[in-house]
Structure 1
Amino acid sequence: MRSLISVVIFFVCGFIFSQEVTILDIETNFPIENCTVYGENNTKVVYSDKFGKVDLSFFDENEVISFNHLSYIEIEILKRHLKEVDFKVFLHKQAESLEEVILSTSKQKETRSRVAEQIEISINKEIVKIAPQTSADLLATIPGVKVQKSQFGGGSPVLRGMEANKVLLVVDGVRMNNAIYRTGHLQSSITVSPSTLERTEVLFGPSSVIYGSDALGGVVHYYTKTPKFSYTPQTKVSFLSRYSSVNEEITNQGSVSFSFNKWASFTSFSYSDFQDLKMGENRRHGFEDWGKVFEYSNNSDTFYNPNPVSNSDPNNQKNTGYNQRDFLQKLIFKASEKSKLILNFQHSMSSDIPRFDRLTEEKEGSLKFAEWYYGPQKRTMISSQFSFEPSKKWMDSGTFTAAYQNLEESRIQRKFGSLDRSYRIENVDVLSFNGDFSIPLSNKSNRSLSYGIEVTHNIVDSYAVGKTLKVEGNEIIGFSGNFAVQSRYPDGGSNYTSSAIYTSYRQDVSKKGTLNTGIRFTNTWLNATWIDDTFITLPDMDINLNNGALTATVGYAYKPNDTWQLNSVLSSGFRSPNIDDIGKIREKNGIVTVPNVALKPEFAYSGELGAIKYLNDKNFNVGFNVYYTLLNNYIAREPFPINGSPTIIYDGEEVETYANVNHDNAYIYGSTLTLGGNLSKHFKTSASATYTKGRAYDSGLPLSSIPPLFGNVDFAFAKKRLEMSLSFRFNATKKIEDYNLIEGIDNIEQTPINEDGDFVGTPSWNSLNLYSSYNITKNLNIQFMIDNIFDNHYKEFASGISAPGRNYSISLIIN
């Protein structure tokens, strides 16, 4: 009897055990979480837990069961066959293909094969691998994007020869560009922490139909991480810690997410501390002293020194360090099965950021500025996004996005030989509302219509004050008085409002071709008032501008077979002058930019052709894109007399006056070549090269912000828990004849000088970089990187700071 009972217990336990299966990665043997498991005869769906385990007790023994995960190849297996594999299911990683989901072209999900525009995407896995110190460093790794830096705490992306207020920055569907985004170089891209990004999409060319004003060069869209719903309560914690030797960076980032059936939360906080940046010491370009810092100012908010200090290590770029804190909180609520609400709070705040290029500026052979730094750069965003699917004839799905942003920036400066310190402070409030909707016009979803509205309102407060320091020895003990300082923007207040409506239409005209069209109407209003005329008296101290424009795009993606895709796009872009264009007053290198209230909108008309060749079952691809852009009424700086005089007295000096003015026509053309994919099971590669050229038609002079030829080549190896890659970045020479010497944006003074005392342009450079990663366990990963292995010295085009030298970086990631 006891033997019979033992046999029954054995078979019952075996039966119970057989209902649980473990799902594993075939390479690493790590369990796979959140794998979707479903059967052919059962509507119930189950998901694997964090140990990769899933209960299959409700499936029939003869039922075919599917195991599906976004990152792995889906497999099917009879339940009764699971005992033959010891109740373990091994999944293979998906090969990287070109059928990526793209979000930025129509604010709806589209596959790359239906999109004609040039787009580059960096997903979370790639961002973690790159380990960028800032989001500007992340953008610099994306094909077709060049980044300029005036100081380490910044980074101005250049797309197709255009940057700053001609490139639109967007985060989670909310435009970051505001009424004081400036011409030249802009450092706002670092206010989004790279550790919070789920993906970044870069859309090249005029995209004003969907995004409106400012997107002449393209769009950079940051998508931060969004929590997911879960049928069973889940808590996930992650932690990142990184150290980099080149500037003694210490970055710590922690996040926690809670997932439930009806709501979920994601919280992230990061802190980065950067010390002074060391440049490369290997000077292959032959200019021994170029970029070296022989003396610097050690003045601070409380410390006074009337003289510069000798730098014991000229390769160490004094006054480049700063720190930054970033906080992200997202809450998502399931209002119903067809609607959800996302609440998004973001806050970024830096310490004071030294303006390195101004602190190394000389006058009569000595440093000009004892102090020149940005006050804490602050960005706060609160947004709510409500998505719903009413499934009506006039609207299948829609999203309402309402947001409030507050931005604060300030500039503090004082010259050597003076006790007068000036403060210029700007505060911007931005209110925005977007409505984006879509309708499938056929049951096959081969025809769709998108339409929407957008309204933004900017309120700008700008004020300035001068304070005379009170000093005892080397200590600043207070102030002895105030003095008048010219504000950067209209001191009587200003506001800028934009409203727009748009519609776009996408249709698969055949099995081989997809047509993309769109049209948008935008209207802008600007009001500004100047009060103080101590330094500059304008013909009109009040200004009211109203501009409107109709823009359109037509694109066609043609797929003659499974291995080719041919793209063509015609588009127009529009940018209305903002408050920075019309009302800014600022000094640089003895030139003061003054207001021009007669400024008009600028337009861009672009045509581009592209081709993608798929190889090896779409595991490898080669892409080529060429474009031509005609700029009409484009805005550029030139000498601009005020009240009949070409000079004014500003900050105690006689300086020339320049202003933004409209010019007739100019052109920019260029191309980008990309390739990438899997060479074998364990090896893959990627490469890109970008060429840009731009000149004015009337004068024949080069346009500003046109980078030289640049690109990269990467080789990567991955097997089981180990991943390694070797990256080679290169940049061609920027010749002196290709510089714009009038506007000052290209910063010719940052290039080396030859024996005759003439600037020679930016020398070519290259850097070799090594990356390695090892998964110690499923939840613990360690990364080690060596950037600029040969410690080469170079400067990015138009940058005021030398690039980092050899850098050893180690990161620890815990999930």
Structure 2
Amino acid sequence: MLRLLIVLCCFSISSFAQQIRVVDAYTQKEIEGVEIEESTTKNKKITNKFGLAFFKGLKPETVLSFEHQNYDHLEITYGTYDGTIFLEPTSEGLESVVLSVSRAAEKKQSIPEHIEILARKDIDYISPQTSADLLGNIPGIRVQKSQFGGGSPVIRGMESNRVLLVVDGVRMNNAIYRNGHLQNSISVSPFALERTEVVFGPASVSYGSDALGGVVHYYTKNLNYSKNISFKNQVFYRHSTVNNEHSTSFSSQVSHQKWASLTNVSYSSFGDLRMGKNRTHGYQDWGKVYQYSKNTDDYYEDTSTTNPNPNIQKNTGYHQLDILQKLMLPLHQNIDLVINGQFSTTNDIPNFGKLNDYKNGDLKFAEWYYGPQQRLLVSAQTKFKDYKSFLKNGAITLAYQNILESRINRDFGSLDRTSRFEEVDVYSLNSDFFIPVGTSKRNKLFYGLELVHNDVNSTAKGETLSFSGNKITGVASHFNADTRYPDGGSTYSSAAVYTSYRQELSKKHIIDAGVRLTSTVLTADWNQNVSINIPNNELRLNNTALTGSLGYIFKPYPTDKISVVLSKGFRAPNVDDVGKIRSKSGKLTVPNTSLDPEHLYSAEIGFVKNMPVHKIYFDSNVYYTLLENYIGRAPSSEFGTSITYDGENFENENILANTNIGKAAIYGATISASWEFLKDIKTNGGVTYTKGISYESDEPLSSIPPLFGNLSLGMYKKLFDVALDYRFSMAKKLKDYNLTEGIDNIDETPNEEGTPSWSLLNFNSNYHFSKNLRIQFQIQNILDAHYKEFASSISAPGRNFSAAVAYSF
């Protein structure tokens, strides 16, 4: 009765007042306690429990300012108000909203896992050239690069197929994600992103296999309805000097009561990357490019070419096009349908790590490049909000993905070009829901299912080229070449169901428990093999695993959180694990037809201290991970002790296969803090330590970065911000490398002695000329330091001047 009276009161007031409604941009729930100030009379109103505030005499040109401690500041003119104000939750603090852990919007204070969030304003501030560069700015993450057109994120000492990439609820990991370094993270445009969330540690209950080190969940820009038709457009341009970057982006959002549309098109052109000149590490020639290949798919030279400027890393530039189209339609008062189309493609991307290999005193490869890396995603997501029964809150997502990859190489002194092509079709269905439990509705039951099927088609061709002068004129003859994966085709399917329950025992105690049952089926068939004879020419693997997690939160004060998480995860071998044939750094990887899943057991403790009065925020997390049946590369004699592949002979310990090595452990910690010690002046920083060891071989694990961190100091005003950012990494010594697997690229370090320490200083500034126009100026690597990220083939960018402009209309 009281609620009805309040509604009637609000209705009567609204009959002669101007109503302002404010909701959360993600949960669509009304926000109470928002302070709204109008510019004409400086009159202030506070929204009630229904997210409503009432004014009189507002004119179209009146500016409305919205303030709430848990949401980003917003200003609009009343003339543009269309019935609802959507506030973005802040990405900092315990009140920030997390979407990825339970696949539902929840407060960070209710989640035991360690989470890092980059909202749209953070992405605009960082202004990364690629999404891989974006991840490198998140505390606790390092990014390895074999070439500039890529970037492999490392989370808690794991990367590639042990880190799950997700975009808009759809897993990007597929059957050929490999153990080593992956470059697929660049296929999501940073210009299309609304936010990026990283879940550290195993998230196998909600995400299943592959989510061992963590989950990177990309969310593209939001769609919202409006009372009247509304248009929001933005154009963006950036130029960077270090690689002659030209990036442009156009975004258009159209909203209406019955539909909403979003279009984003971005294009980036990158030239050859210049490395830093200041060599404080003392290695004067390390990383310099003295020779390079001018060969292309239609241009021929039989010798390498002298590089006039060895600090310019030839064969590193590329182009990329990304298109996003989303459409939202209301199917019911409580149900929305979101159609999501994404397309990303590049031109040929040179593999800098390979093109820098030497043999007999000269470059080995005349050609080694990836063909266009192409990703197509089409999904239909049905979103339920306050609907019925077990479909009360959640989403059903049906998706199709098509991924194209290729690798082309040819040696100097040879006219034989080998091309290998991969096409993966992925079909998936996700159902993720939750319902409030109990009279308070603070407790929640989460549940869902996932079905995924991968079809892998792998082909190869060998061509002996003909040429005239410097022109490749055609193909003189053909030869047989091994495919990278089984040439008869392969499939990888998984089916899973999960449930979890979150119980608020009191205001200070929360417990969270969940389980997931996953079953996987892998098939692979070989028709013919040039180098390796596969017994029976077929492979069938079936695996089933029960995983789970138990989390506990203790909040001694509303602003503090102590959390403990115990988790069990697993990763089933995929097609790349069991069926790949490839050579790298003098070693040949061959298939393993009897590989078992790897299992993970993890324990972590987190502590968050938030002091709003002093504007101090402290976050720390310590973890220990035990891996059983750890999959790593080890010598294999399954197919003999001498194999000739691509014209090169490999023997004994240089023939490797992915193998269940046994038990291994990874442990470490991440600490971060921020402090606004003066009005609008803030400092923040963090440090990450990681250690990994194999108990069976007593060797260090691969992909373990050295100690790294950052410290920044900045002034952040409404109209402008300026900041200095200091980043560093300690040395990775030779004794800390895994030399057997070859993943850590010891050959890319000076004299194969390990990676030297490094540090750099960056400057960043933004200025808002108006609410529609923003300019940005950055100086990255101010001291022009030369360095390489751990395990990277390419030297990092030298001093870079970057300028960008964004205009909204």
What TM-score, normalized to structure 2? 0.90
Secondary structure at the counterpart of residue 727 of structure 1 = strand
Deviation digits for residues 316-363 of structure 1, max 9, x if unmatched? 000000000000000011222211010000000000000001000001
**Structure 2, unaligned stretches of length 5 or more?**
1-15, 23-33, 76-86
Please provide the CA RMSD for this pair: 2.8
Deviation digits for residues 618-664 of structure 1, max 9, x if unmatched? 83211111000000001000111144x32201111111321001011
Secondary structure at the counterpart of residue 664 of structure 1 = strand
Kindly report which structure 2 residues correspond to 1:9-158, keeping only aligned pairs within 5 A, or say none.
53=62, 71=71, 97-158=93-154
Secondary structure at the counterpart of residue 209 of structure 2 = coil
Kindly report which structure 2 residues correspond to 1:604-615, keeping only aligned pairs within 5 A, or say none.
604-615=600-611
The counterpart of 2:627, out of the listed 618, 626, 631, is 631
> Structure 2: how far apart are the matches of 1:46 and 1:265?
31
The 8 Å contact of residues 497 and 526 in structure 1, kept in 2 or not, is answered as: yes
Residue 7 of structure 2 is matched in structure 1 by none
Q: Does 1:616 align with 2:609?
A: no
Residue 425 of structure 1 is matched in structure 2 by 421
The 8 Å contact of residues 46 and 54 in structure 1, kept in 2 or not, is answered as: no
Q: Does 1:651 align with 2:646?
A: yes
Count how many residue pairs are aligned between Structure 1 and Structure 2. 764
The counterpart of 2:263, out of the listed 253, 264, 267, is 267
> Structure 1: how far apart are the matches of 2:126 and 2:489?
42
Deviation digits for residues 224-261 of structure 1, max 9, x if unmatched? 00221111211011011000000000000001110011
Residue 760 of structure 2 is matched in structure 1 by 767
> Structure 1: how far apart are the matches of 2:508 and 2:483?
58
> Structure 2: how far apart are the matches of 1:73 and 1:528?
54
Report how far residue 301 of structure 1 moved: 1.0
Q: Does 1:276 align with 2:276?
A: no
Secondary structure at the counterpart of residue 329 of structure 2 = strand
Q: Does 1:551 align with 2:551?
A: no
Deviation digits for residues 245-278 of structure 1, max 9, x if unmatched? 0000000000111001121000000000000000
Residue 750 of structure 2 is matched in structure 1 by 752
The 8 Å contact of residues 255 and 261 in structure 2, kept in 1 or not, is answered as: yes
Secondary structure at the counterpart of residue 555 of structure 2 = strand
Deviation digits for residues 523-561 of structure 1, max 9, x if unmatched? 000011001122110223101110000000001111011
The counterpart of 1:781, out of the listed 774, 787, 800, is 774
Deviation digits for residues 1-27 of structure 1, max 9, x if unmatched? xxxxxxxxxxxxxxxx99899x9x999
> Structure 2: how far apart are the matches of 1:581 and 1:178?
12
Deviation digits for residues 664-722 of structure 1, max 9, x if unmatched? 10100000001024333211222110000000112210000000001111112023422
Kindly report which structure 2 residues correspond to 1:482-493, keeping only aligned pairs within 5 A, or say none.
482-493=478-489
> Structure 2: how far apart are the matches of 1:232 and 1:36?
24
> Structure 1: how far apart are the matches of 2:483 and 2:45?
59
> Structure 2: how far apart are the matches of 1:114 and 1:620?
20
Residue 345 of structure 1 is matched in structure 2 by 341
Name the CA shift for 1:108/1:414 in 2 (closer, same or farther; >3 Å).
Answer: same
The 8 Å contact of residues 666 and 692 in structure 2, kept in 1 or not, is answered as: yes
> Structure 2: how far apart are the matches of 1:50 and 1:124?
30
Identity, in percent, stands at 51
Residue 792 of structure 2 is matched in structure 1 by 799
Residue 508 of structure 2 is matched in structure 1 by 512
Query: Which has the larger displacement, 561-570 or 572-581?
Result: 561-570
Residue 597 of structure 1 is matched in structure 2 by 593
Q: 1:772 is aligned with what amino acid?
A: S
**Structure 1, unaligned stretches of length 5 or more?**
1-16, 56-64, 76-90, 754-758
Q: Does 1:669 align with 2:667?
A: yes
Residue 572 of structure 1 is matched in structure 2 by 568
> Structure 1: how far apart are the matches of 2:372 and 2:390?
47
> Structure 2: how far apart are the matches of 1:462 and 1:610?
44
The 8 Å contact of residues 463 and 491 in structure 1, kept in 2 or not, is answered as: yes
Residue 164 of structure 2 is matched in structure 1 by 168
Secondary structure at the counterpart of residue 161 of structure 2 = helix
The 8 Å contact of residues 159 and 213 in structure 2, kept in 1 or not, is answered as: yes
The 8 Å contact of residues 91 and 117 in structure 2, kept in 1 or not, is answered as: no
> Structure 2: how far apart are the matches of 1:639 and 1:722?
57
> Structure 2: how far apart are the matches of 1:416 and 1:719?
57
> Structure 2: how far apart are the matches of 1:793 and 1:42?
53
Kindly report which structure 2 residues correspond to 1:184-333, keeping only aligned pairs within 5 A, or say none.
184-333=180-329
Q: Does 1:699 align with 2:697?
A: yes
Name the CA shift for 1:666/1:20 in 2 (closer, same or farther; >3 Å).
Answer: closer
Residue 413 of structure 1 is matched in structure 2 by 409
> Structure 2: how far apart are the matches of 1:49 and 1:283?
62
> Structure 1: how far apart are the matches of 2:275 and 2:782?
13
Secondary structure at the counterpart of residue 769 of structure 2 = strand
The counterpart of 1:476, out of the listed 467, 472, 479, is 472
> Structure 2: how far apart are the matches of 1:388 and 1:373?
45
Secondary structure at the counterpart of residue 353 of structure 2 = helix
The 8 Å contact of residues 708 and 732 in structure 1, kept in 2 or not, is answered as: yes
Secondary structure at the counterpart of residue 789 of structure 1 = coil
The 8 Å contact of residues 36 and 69 in structure 1, kept in 2 or not, is answered as: no
Residue 181 of structure 1 is matched in structure 2 by 177
The counterpart of 2:807, out of the listed 806, 810, 814, is 814
> Structure 2: how far apart are the matches of 1:27 and 1:721?
19
> Structure 1: how far apart are the matches of 2:404 and 2:139?
31
> Structure 1: how far apart are the matches of 2:593 and 2:57?
63
What TM-score, normalized to structure 1? 0.90
Secondary structure at the counterpart of residue 793 of structure 1 = coil
Kindly report which structure 2 residues correspond to 1:733-744, keeping only aligned pairs within 5 A, or say none.
733-744=731-742
The 8 Å contact of residues 614 and 677 in structure 2, kept in 1 or not, is answered as: no
Q: 1:206 is aligned with what amino acid?
A: P
The counterpart of 2:372, out of the listed 369, 376, 383, is 376
The 8 Å contact of residues 535 and 650 in structure 1, kept in 2 or not, is answered as: yes
Residue 730 of structure 1 is matched in structure 2 by 728
The 8 Å contact of residues 152 and 159 in structure 2, kept in 1 or not, is answered as: yes
Report how far residue 390 of structure 1 moved: 5.5
Report how far residue 760 of structure 1 moved: 1.3
Secondary structure at the counterpart of residue 136 of structure 1 = helix
Name the CA shift for 1:531/1:99 in 2 (closer, same or farther; >3 Å).
Answer: same
The 8 Å contact of residues 48 and 54 in structure 1, kept in 2 or not, is answered as: no
Name the CA shift for 1:257/1:52 in 2 (closer, same or farther; >3 Å).
Answer: farther
Q: 2:691 is aligned with what amino acid?
A: K
Q: 1:647 is aligned with what amino acid?
A: S
Secondary structure at the counterpart of residue 633 of structure 1 = strand
Q: 1:358 is aligned with what amino acid?
A: K
The 8 Å contact of residues 36 and 68 in structure 1, kept in 2 or not, is answered as: no
Query: Which has the larger displacement, 547-556 or 387-396?
Result: 387-396
The 8 Å contact of residues 20 and 54 in structure 1, kept in 2 or not, is answered as: no
> Structure 2: how far apart are the matches of 1:693 and 1:559?
30
Deviation digits for residues 193-243 of structure 1, max 9, x if unmatched? 001100000001111010000001000000000221111211011011000
> Structure 2: how far apart are the matches of 1:371 and 1:30?
64
> Structure 2: how far apart are the matches of 1:422 and 1:46?
72
Larger radius of gyration: 1
Name the CA shift for 1:416/1:515 in 2 (closer, same or farther; >3 Å).
Answer: same
Q: Does 1:562 align with 2:555?
A: no
Name the CA shift for 1:20/1:636 in 2 (closer, same or farther; >3 Å).
Answer: closer
Name the CA shift for 1:46/1:335 in 2 (closer, same or farther; >3 Å).
Answer: farther
Name the CA shift for 1:660/1:53 in 2 (closer, same or farther; >3 Å).
Answer: same
Report how far residue 479 of structure 1 moved: 0.9
Q: 2:794 is aligned with what amino acid?
A: I
